[in-house]
Structure 1
Amino acid sequence: MSIWWSLHLRREAASVPLARRLLLGTMETAGVDPEISYDLSLALTEACANAVEHGGRTETGDVSAEYRVTAYLDGEKCRIEVADSGPGFPAGPAPAAPEPAPEAEDGRGLRLIEELADHVHFGNRSGRGGAVVSFDKIVKWRTGAPLVAS
């Protein structure tokens, strides 16, 4: 069984729960274990929140009004990608999630994604600019799941 969907969302806070609910509904319908679904939905929430907050200005200074979420549920793995058109991550080797200051009220989203997913990649879109956060997780299925891979 394979499911794939892609959303182009406005860079506004209301888009974040929309993406999360769509992912949770897809996972529930497919029969994915609720704990795995929750982990992935929380990681997606953090990635979308980052796109909304930081994906604003392009390299040319234009304001980007949207970002893209793509999810693949294929066999035993779910892969999610969130891409924006902002300035992207700093140049150089692939960035690691920075350690926030203990008193900081934000800055933990990328580290949380790393904890919730099995594999994470932070990078930049080639050509058009922007950040890409992609992550995947091995899927566990509920007993009697209606769409279990055969």
Structure 2
Amino acid sequence: MSIWWSLHLRREAASVPLARRLLLGTMETAGVDPDVSYDLSVALSEACANAVEHGGGTVHGASSEAYRVTAYLDGEKCRIEVTDSGPGFAFSPAPRPARADAEHGRGLGLIRELADHVHIGNKPGRAGTVVSFDKILKWRDDSPLMAV
């Protein structure tokens, strides 16, 4: 069984919990283990917060005030992509530890800790960043959609 959805969200702080709640609801309905769901929801929140804070830019000469979240639950894996229209990276962002007292700069590291595979890069051919991450799913015993 496969489930996927995509959201086009305004770059506003209020959009972050909306994406998180939709992901948690989808995974609860599918029967994904709550610990895995929680890890993915925190990683999604961090990726969305980065898109809200850093994902602005211009698209075809107009200011972009939106970003996209797409989630795929397919068999034993969940893949999430958050795409914005910001300036992108001039280089590949290397993992670097943030100071323990830092209020910013820990999001990408947290995503790397919570997911099994992470890719962060620029959108092909145009401005913007794509943060995608995967996690192997664990299912509740009573899962209605458990992968067979």
- Shorter-chain-normalised TM-score: which range? over 0.9
Partner of 2:128: 130
Contact 1:83-1:133 within 8 A present in 2 as well: yes
Q: Runs ≥4 in structure 1, deviation > 3 angstroms?
A: 58-62
Partner of 1:69: 69
1:42 and 2:42 matched: yes
TM-score, normalised with respect to structure 1: 0.93
Partner of 1:146: 144
In the aligned structure 2, how far is the partner of 1:99 from the partner of 1:60? 36
1:90 deviation in Å? 1.9
Structure 2 segments unaligned to the other structure (5+ residues): none
In the aligned structure 1, how far is the partner of 2:78 from the partner of 2:111? 14
1:62 deviation in Å? 4.6
Structure 1 segments unaligned to the other structure (5+ residues): none
TM-score, normalised with respect to structure 2: 0.94
Q: Deviations over 1:88-147 (max 9, x none)?
A: 1223xx322333344421110000000000000000001221001000000000002001
Correspondent of 1:112 among 110, 113, 117: 110
Contact 1:59-1:86 within 8 A present in 2 as well: no
Identical amino acids, percent of aligned pairs: 76
The worse-fitting range, judged by mean Cα deviation, of 100-109 and 74-83 is 100-109
